[in-house]
Amino acid sequence: CQQNVADSEKIKGFLAQMGFSFTEDEEEADFILFNTCAVRGHAENRVFGNVGALKDLKRRHPSLIISLCGCMMEEKQASEHIKQKFPFVNLVFGTHVLHRFPELLWTALTASRRVFERGDEQEDARIVEGLPIHRDGTTRAWLTVMYGCDNFCSYCIVPYVRGRERSREPEAILDEFRSIVADGYKDITLLGQNVNSYGKKLERPINFSQLLRMLDAVDGDYRLRFMTSHPKDATHELIDTMAEGRHICHHLHLPVQAGSNRILKEMNRGYTREKYLALVEYARKKIPDLSLTTDIIVGFPGETYEEFRETVSLVREVGFTSLFTFIYSPREGTRAARLPDPVPYEEKARWLQELCAEQEKISAERCAKEVGKTYRVLVEKQNEKDGLLCGRTDGNVIVLFEGSKELIGNFAEVKITAARNWILRGELIQ
């Protein structure tokens, strides 16, 4: 997820300060690091496969340091599994001890022992400011405003591996924000598991809308986005702030997860279908060109086909720009993992296909209306394959068009000439 991308940029910042440079070629690497995800089982299994594949490389290059970090390494059983089954892994550390990375790497390099570190409650509670950052892109930047999560949605491992919710001081965020703008980044995303509860626990409480307004007041030619917004804490004030902002994108990622009230309750999401739809209605009234995206879990334990169809009908009713869809994956230690789950995986996979087919129809209908419109596009890169420039609208939709690569990193006015599955084709008008 974006939080992991932001963490990776911090680790790269440390490495760059230590004099390392970066390569994609594992044959020439002295140090290989996997930043892992624990949200679904599929990602976890892939990690074991990828690490296992390095056994031969390590045999040929015995001085190579192989390391794993990230959410999965905060899970005791995953870290133990690595310890037992992959003796050639030198260094394993969780998200809570990321700020100690230089010390941990030094130990792995100099002491002849393997290093395994995870957080404890003290580590959980702290925010370490001032870590170096080596940003990967030149146009887009990530800025973490808060860590952890207190929501305990019944299916989700995040509160267990990322710890309790804690917000950075607004002044620290503003300083980092100003330097990102000064460095020329033009698409800046504020990150948190639930940005709408930002600041509640600070000594001088401030809410997320106030933070947004404070950042939006910084002058410059840039766009400001944020994720993730939890529907239970999204307020009218937030929507009004978006509508009034100078730089705030008309894009809202608002994960709904399911369309049935019974399933939403079982998920411990804290809102109903009706409340979600009312929020969307208010947002669309205030921001008519709003682009809405969402996350959906198909096949939560005990979900029936009829309940799943309520998700499909909600998707149709809202008309999202795009969906991030997942088949439910049981996570050990969560409440949902103990619920009876009678529907076979293959059946859930069919439901997922049904949902995606519905979204494709919705996308086609909505995309057709895009032709002829003009968008301000931030140009990110030139496609290797077809040489087309590739950029993003305010609503986070990809646009491809012909143009000179000098435009990369700048805004361009583009008229849409064709559209398919939310990839828009256009022509440069300025």
Supply φ then ψ for residue 34, to 5 degrees.
Answer: -105, 125
Please state the closest distance from residue 300 (CB atom) to ligand SAH, in A.
8
**Residue 248 gets which letter from DSSP?**
B
Query: Which residues have a Cβ under 8 Å from the Cβ of 349 and sit 6 or more positions away?
Result: 327
Residue 331: name its binding partner from ligand SAH, ligand SF4, none (Cβ under 5 to 8 Å by kind). Answer: ligand SAH
Please state the closest distance from residue 158 (CB atom) to ligand SF4, in A.
4
Residue 159: name its binding partner from ligand SF4, ligand SAH, none (Cβ under 5 to 8 Å by kind). Answer: ligand SF4
**162 or 247: CB nearest ligand SAH:** 162
**163 or 255: CB nearest ligand SAH:** 255
Supply φ then ψ for residue 398, to 5 degrees.
Answer: -80, 135
**90 or 229: CB nearest ligand SAH:** 229
Q: What is the dihedral of CA 253, 334, 51, 23, to 10 degrees?
A: 30
Label the pairing between strands 251-253 and 291-298. parallel
Please state the closest distance from residue 339 (CB atom) to ligand SF4, in A.
16
Q: SS3 for 243? A: helix
**156 or 180: CB nearest ligand SF4:** 156
User: Is the torsion defined by CA of 98, 99, 102, 106 positive or negative?
Assistant: negative
Binding site for ligand SF4 (CB under 6 A): 149, 151-153, 156, 158-159, 193-194, 230
Residue 82: name its binding partner from ligand SAH, ligand SF4, none (Cβ under 5 to 8 Å by kind). Answer: none
Please state the closest distance from residue 271 (CB atom) to ligand SF4, in A.
12
Binding site for ligand SAH (CB under 6 A): 39-40, 155-156, 158, 193-194, 228, 230, 255, 257, 295, 297, 326, 328-329, 331
Query: Which residues have a Cβ under 8 Å from the Cβ of 422 and sit 6 or more positions away?
Result: 321, 322, 363, 367, 397, 398
Spatial distance between the Cα atoms of 291 and 252, rounded to a whole number of angstroms: 6
Please state the closest distance from residue 227 (CB atom) to ligand SF4, in A.
11
Please state the closest distance from residue 430 (CB atom) to ligand SF4, in A.
40
Query: Which residues have a Cβ under 8 Å from the Cβ of 257 and sit 6 or more positions away?
Result: 153, 263, 264, 267, 269, 295, 296, 297
Residue 20: name its binding partner from ligand SAH, ligand SF4, none (Cβ under 5 to 8 Å by kind). Answer: none
Spatial distance between the Cα atoms of 186 and 247, rounded to a whole number of angstroms: 10
Label the pairing between strands 140-144 and 187-191. parallel
CA angle 249, 251, 253 (to 5 degrees): 135
Please state the closest distance from residue 154 (CB atom) to ligand SF4, in A.
9
Residue 124's Cβ-side half-sphere holds a number of Cα atoms within 13 Å equal to 15
Residue 291: name its binding partner from ligand SF4, ligand SAH, none (Cβ under 5 to 8 Å by kind). Answer: none
Please state the closest distance from residue 75 (CB atom) to ligand SAH, in A.
13
Q: SS3 for 67? A: strand
**38 or 181: CB nearest ligand SAH:** 38
Token pair, residue 207, equals 């809410």
Please state the closest distance from residue 252 (CB atom) to ligand SAH, in A.
12
**137 or 159: CB nearest ligand SF4:** 159
Residue 8: name its binding partner from ligand SF4, ligand SAH, none (Cβ under 5 to 8 Å by kind). Answer: none
Q: 228 and 255 in contact (C-beta within 8 Å)?
A: yes
In the block, tokens 């309790």 appear at 164
In the block, tokens 């996350």 appear at 295
First to last CA, the chain: 34
**336 or 367: CB nearest ligand SAH:** 336
**149 or 367: CB nearest ligand SF4:** 149
**158 or 279: CB nearest ligand SF4:** 158
Please state the closest distance from residue 328 (CB atom) to ligand SAH, in A.
5
**Beta strands in 274-316, from DSSP E residues, in sequence order:** 291-298
**154 or 363: CB nearest ligand SF4:** 154
Residue 328: name its binding partner from ligand SF4, ligand SAH, none (Cβ under 5 to 8 Å by kind). Answer: ligand SAH
Residue 329: name its binding partner from ligand SF4, ligand SAH, none (Cβ under 5 to 8 Å by kind). Answer: ligand SAH
Query: Which residues have a Cβ under 8 Å from the Cβ of 25 and sit 6 or more positions away?
Result: none
